[in-house]
Chain A
Amino acid sequence: MASVRNTWIHSPAGEYLNRLSEQTLGREIPALLLMVIMLAIMLVFLAVSALFLIWLERKISARIQNRMGPMLSGPAFLRNRSMWFGGGFQTAFDAIKLLLKELIIPGRADPVPFVMAPVLIFGVSVAAFLVVPWAPALSVADLNIGLLYVISVSSLTVLSIIMAGWASNNKYSLLGGLRSAAQMLSYEIPLLFALLGPILMAGTLSMQGIIEAQRELGVWFVVPSFLGAVIYYVAAIAEVNRPPFDIPEAESELVAGYVSEYSGMMFAMFFLAEFSNMMLVSAIAATVFFGGWAVPFMPMPEQPDLLYTLIGGVVFFMKTYALILLMMWIRWTFPRVRPDHLMNMGWKFMLPLAFLNLLICAGVAVMQAEATAAGQPVSRLAVWLVGAVSLAVIVGGLSLFKEKDRPYHLVSAGGAEKKE
């Protein structure tokens, strides 16, 4: 599966900073200080990009709904004149407002879980960003088990939601928290299975290694594993509780779900965590399925090259933001999915398809193994054919689903099942 792998891209970003400081200051940065600097850069970057994403979401939702979005909060000469700069400071003002609000802890609420829940959910999000490969040789740490680390750390968000729901001492929060936990737990499994396909084809769990494997194969993993990419994306939307899977935060149904009792900065933490989780799953999808920072038709230099690194970083950002835009577009297009439909779809529909995807990717892995044994590169035609089969399976399968065959049944209020 894996032949010779280029190794300079696996070095962590700290080494880059070390080399810079050696050239400019003449000595190395101590390890602890290096960790603190990298963490600070990561936090600042996450906060700024989450703010930017919130503003982007408001503008895009506005254009989809044929309105303008925030227009009045910029400098005076831009207000109500420019669509894309008129509301520029809106998110900053919202952030200041949330910072200045009083932090209310309800009287009967359990104070320790109540306060720790937003801390945990944002901390988990930051921790998961440690292995995201922003550019060659620019991931904060390129762990050998990078992808597994991200999955296991993201599974701690379920705990934070349960803590928030229970500690609020409010039955609507509790219901929202339990529903969200059930939804996130049931969609973690198709997510994992969809990622198993590319792991098989890449032969490694490290994020930079998966990108290298895509360069070697010659095609992005979305081609042979298109089914897996679709399953991963839908499961990821369910994981971050985005609409159309946002029953836990359904604004019109459960007050605000598990964040009903939160105010001020704690609410802002939940909000920030949602947007940074959205960026995290898009970044992982871009890495695993869409080639990460790899640019088609551009050969990788043997030595660390600044220009290549910068181009790689820009390409990675573009891919991630394209997927985020797709997520926002989906949000404002589809109606909310009912909870029992959601669970049905997760367990009975997506899990079998994920198994099928695993079989298809195992086929490609066998082709890779044979090609390595024979000393030739894998035939690209074969991989594209596999991709066409994947696409045919999903399109054909979906089009064969008639009204009566859906994996959920329409149940009327009287309790009788209709299966016409």
Chain B
Amino acid sequence: MFFSMFKYSFKRLLRNKVIAFWLIFWPIILATLFHLAFSNILSDEQFNDIDIAIVNAGNNEEFVDVLKDTGIYNISEQSLDEAKKMLIDKEITGYITVGDEITATVNQSGINESIIKMTLDKYEQVSNSYTALITANPQIVQSDFLTEFDFSHDYIGSQTQNKNNLNLVVIYFYTVIAMAALCGGSRGAEDISGIQADQSDVGARTAVSPAKKSVMFFASVCASITTTFISVLLVVFYLMFALKVEFGNLFGYIVLLCFISSVTSVFLGTMIGVLVKKKLPFKIGLVIAITMVGCFFSGMMAIDIKYLVQEKAPLLAYINPANLITDGLYSLYYYGVGERYYINIAILSAMAVIFSIVTILVIRRQKYAHL
């Protein structure tokens, strides 16, 4: 019985064009519009490796290794003349001459030029520290101190992780995924309508059948979660492969977040379905409205709003499923798998549990005075 119900619920959802629009086509349209609007910003903010040339690299190979380890430079070893020519032709941002002193030559001022200068300053600072220590205590060379001590340790706790840091525009696209997931709530609301006698004619027909309401409920909810999950993944794939939006490399965790988001949104819809005593179109409208307001506070219209809410009304940020989904994706992209990602996952899961318990309790206690 469960499988048959699941099969037909799944078919119904696949064939429902209105829901397909809200779950798949609308997010794709919106994401495409964002892409068109932000494509310049994206390219401006995309961090590309800095092309530099090293002159007389053989004089200090350790220094060249340090530059390579930073992972932010495209390094080529050139003669001085060739390096000058490349700088004039703007093939490189600057060149570094390695001799008794290490000097950088650049043609203009800018972020990349500043980064080259900061790298040299840092190298000089660390190498001076080494020299000072060895001069004061020559035995230290024999010990493990120099290899174990981290001269570049940052004591203020904020540490850059990778070159994704500069791209904040991705938040707009993540809110689109949150929107796609939360629209799944409309499916949850429809599931409830289909099993409640006072909500629809089909609900009345199923209510007089010997099938248990709990079996019908879970069959249709499973179908809704499956279709919502597939829809969200389609949107993610579109953003990832068609629009080339950055998601990082943690695909499995993205899928997990999408799945939990789908579960939460469907149960949000079922809870609205049982608590709101109105017709189905009103409930679907309410789900869409909650979705859009949630996405607004997650930064869909302006990223600053997301941070403003987090700063001024943190509770709202924690109870807004759209924000949790957006923030989950953002934290994955920005920080990788960590506490912030798991907090978002945990709150979304807790919401799903609460919504489902409320739904089941109301359904079980419900008796109809009116149809």
A and B interact:
no
* Residues of B bordering A, CB below 8 Å: none
* Residues of A bordering B, CB below 8 Å: none
